[in-house]
Structure 1
Amino acid sequence: MLKIITGVAAGSVLGFSALPASAEGLLQKARTQGITVGIANEIPYGFQNANGSVEGIAPSVAKKVLNEMGITKIQWKVLPFGQLIPAVKAGRIDLASASQNVLPERCKQVAFSRVNSSYGEGLLVPKGNPKNIHSYMDIKNNPQLKLGIVTGADQLNFAQGMNIPQSQIVLIRANSDAIPALQSHRIDAYAATGLTVYELAKKSPMVQRAEPFTQPKYHGKSTRSYGAFSMRKSDTAFLKAFNQELAKVQASPFWANTLEHYGLSKEDVQAARMQKTSALCSGGR
């Protein structure tokens, strides 16, 4: 059973208690009464379709995991991304399913599940990747190569942080200019987030994303992010059961197929598989 509500106060309208579900034991309550799950309505991380259904990287996996836990009643609540953690802490939702990046400051407020996804940067290159470009370093090491970047984008900071000369950087107006710039040989690669590169690659058979791809480093740390589900720290039994079932789901083809369906690369999937939440909460990357 899927229900979708919006707004902070909607839970009380439908009879959900404003008190944290952990007071009753979230695991047992979720199995008997259902669970409230928050999303931020951001494609492809977790979003509501025009027909009212909820999907995305996190919700698709969450539905599978919760079903395996014996939880079949899911009430979805759409909230601004910044309100997800406050809503978890206040008991307005039981679980946030939005591929939230696991950061030490967030770990102080909520408990995160096993890492479920990973997302980072990418490069768009001509079909066949004729210049064999697989990283920002490949650009830096070949003075003949030109890297396209949207004016003002974070990727400019990454390129400059890796000491790619300004003479090799070509600033373009928007993502929509990337494919024409590649086709005209004005640039040899275009830098953007991995998911942006994925979406652009679908628009033309003349381009592709560079695979494999090595994530750039900024201030000595990888720019890669790691997403997980968040819940209240007091819901320890629920977290343990959720992690157990999530591990089983991640061992099946369903998990990798789901992540790749929404645009994550094989490298993204492997990165998510290898990273530990405890390390991320301690500041490791």
Structure 2
Amino acid sequence: MTTIARHLRARLKGWGGVGAMATACALALVFALALTCAGAPAGAPSRTTGQTVSHSARAQADEDCTAPEKQTLSPSDADGPTIEEIRNRRGEKRKLVVGVDQNSYRWGYRDPNSGKSGALEGFDIDLVHRIAEDILGDRDAVQFKAIPTDQRIPAIKAGRVDMVVRTMTITCARIEDVAFSAPYFRTGQQVLAPRSSPVEGYDETLADQEICTAAGSTAHAKLEADKEAGRLPASTDIRTTVPNQLDCLVRLQLGEVDAVVTDGALAASQAAQDPTVQLKGGAFTTEYYGVAMKKDADDLVRRVNRILVDFREDTTDGWQDAYTEWLSATLGDDSSRSRPPAPEYLRES
């Protein structure tokens, strides 16, 4: 265990402020993996953690809907039962409860060098503050709950959070379980691998390679579908899944997997954290992030959609400003590829 931790620290040495954050997360995972393996039968590999959704269920959902990013309600300022319930919370509980990530660099993360006592920062966090300010009149009236990738939908359905703002892709399968806002960001799946890797992208160079994805992610769903359809080499190993996307980066650094598949926006941030890895090839899907809420929270969905209209149009403290501050360093100054399309509101109720 000590040897692994020492090896990991050596790989991460020299990353600066971001490195401190990544090192802490990485070491935490290493010890978690050790505990998991300690309870496993000798010789039995631990590959999969977290929840998964069957390919057949996803395929059925895909057949039943098209353009899931358009399946949302029209914007409205009107209050309703969900918003009233949030506003009627008393004292310290009068906050918007939001599921976020705390380990996604530039999206939702804690920068130990920010001078803000480890406060959550990033593009998603800016959006959360804007929603809280509109609904509660106080941008800081937020209770952040860090949730793993594979627990986003369960947290919403169980009522543990009012919404999830966590680089969550709008998909046909997911709109069976939760309601989404209009899109607020455009991205696509990409491959992340060591610079020295023979992998060149999402192609035949993935043969005999072990790929890591987050459980319950669109990346894992895509790999499953393509493997079944023969669009991936038969020898590509896609069995390794983890609860959080950053865990894949750690496994890549430890040499436990050969590549990672995730949203390009997240992969670019991970490449910025570790100069020994890089994006391989271009994006091979088009996906949109949305704010996820309970299926019956119609008033909250409509309000968030109205807030997003203002967020996109605001030229002084809106979408473009958030992109410039948080994402231009990893995705480039040109934000046109990341801007969501003009929203369409096809859901009637």
**TM-score, with structure 1 as normaliser:** 0.54
Q: Return the offset for 1:114.
A: 2.4
Match of 1:227 among 282, 290, 299: 290
Tell me which protein shows more strand as a share of its residues.
Answer: 1
Query: Equivalent residue for 1:193?
Result: 262
| Compared CA separation, residues 253 and 57, structure 1 to 2 (3 A) | closer
Corresponding position of 1:246: 311
Equivalent pair of 1:125/1:190 in contact (CA under 8 Å): yes
2:327 to 244, 260, 273: 260
Structure 1 distance, partners of 2:142, 2:233, is 51
Contact 1:27 1:238 in 2 (8 A): no
Instruction: Give the drift of 1:193.
Output: 1.5
Q: Any conservation in 1 of the 2:82–2:300 contact (CA below 8 Å)?
A: no
C-alpha contact 1:97 1:230 (8 A) present in aligned 2 = no
1:8 corresponds to which residue?
none
Letter in 2 for 1:39: G
> Secondary structure of 1:157's match?
helix
Match of 2:168 in 1: 100
Quick one: distance in 2 between partners of 1:263 and 1:26?
39
2:128 matched residue in structure 1: 62
Matched, 1:83 2:155: yes
Distance of aligned partners of 1:254 and 1:275 in 2 relative to their CA distance in 1, 3 Å threshold: same
CA 1:239 to 1:48, structure 2 compared with 1: closer, same or farther past 3 Å?
A: same
Question: 2:99·2:166 contact (CA, 8 Å) conserved in 1?
Answer: yes
Q: Is 1:115 aligned to residue 186 of structure 2?
A: no
> CA separation in 1, counterparts of 2:80 and 2:329?
32
Shift in alpha-carbon separation, 1:99–1:86, aligned structure 2, 3 A: farther
Q: State the shift of 1:273 in Å.
A: 0.9
Structure 2: runs of 5 or more not aligned: 1-78, 214-219, 241-247
Query: In the alignment, is the contact (CA less than 8 A) between 1:37 and 1:76 conserved in 2?
Result: yes
> Is the CA contact 2:181–2:292 (under 8 Å) kept in the aligned structure 1?
yes
Partner amino acid, structure 1, of 2:209: I
* 1:102/1:277 contact within 8 Å kept: no
Paired residue type of 1:230: M
Match of 2:284 among 191, 214, 228: 214
1:266 and 1:211, CA in 2 relative to 1: closer, same or farther beyond 3 A? farther
Native 8 Å contact 1:259 1:269 kept in 2: no
Instruction: Find the counterpart in structure 1 of residue 80 from structure 2.
Output: 22
Q: How does 1:178-189 map to 2 (within 5 A)?
A: none
What is the aligned-residue identity percentage? 13
Quote the Cα distance in structure 1 between the aligned partners of 2:251 and 2:177: 41
**Structure 1 74/67 Cα, relative in aligned 2: closer, same or farther at 3 Å?**
same
Distance 1:119 1:253 in 2: 16
AA at the equivalent of 1:55: E
**Contact preservation (8 Å) 1:115, 1:273:** yes
Alignment match, 2:49: none
Query: Under a length normalisation based on structure 2, what TM-score does the superposition of the two structures give?
Result: 0.46
> Are the structure 2 counterparts of residues 26 and 110 from structure 1 closer, same or farther at C-alpha, using a change threshold of 3 Å?
farther
The Cα of 1:272 is off from its aligned counterpart by 5.3
Q: Give the Cα–Cα distance (whole angstroms) in 2 for the partners of residues 100 and 39 of structure 1.
A: 11
1:72 aligns to 2:146 (yes or no): no
Contact 1:178 1:190 in 2 (8 A): yes
Task: In structure 1, give the amino acid aligned to 2:270.
Answer: E
Question: Which runs of no fewer than 5 residues in structure 1 stay unpaired?
Answer: 1-20, 182-188, 216-221
Whole-angstrom distance in 1 between the partners of 2:179 and 2:103 = 24
Greater CA deviation, 261-270 or 51-60?
Answer: 261-270
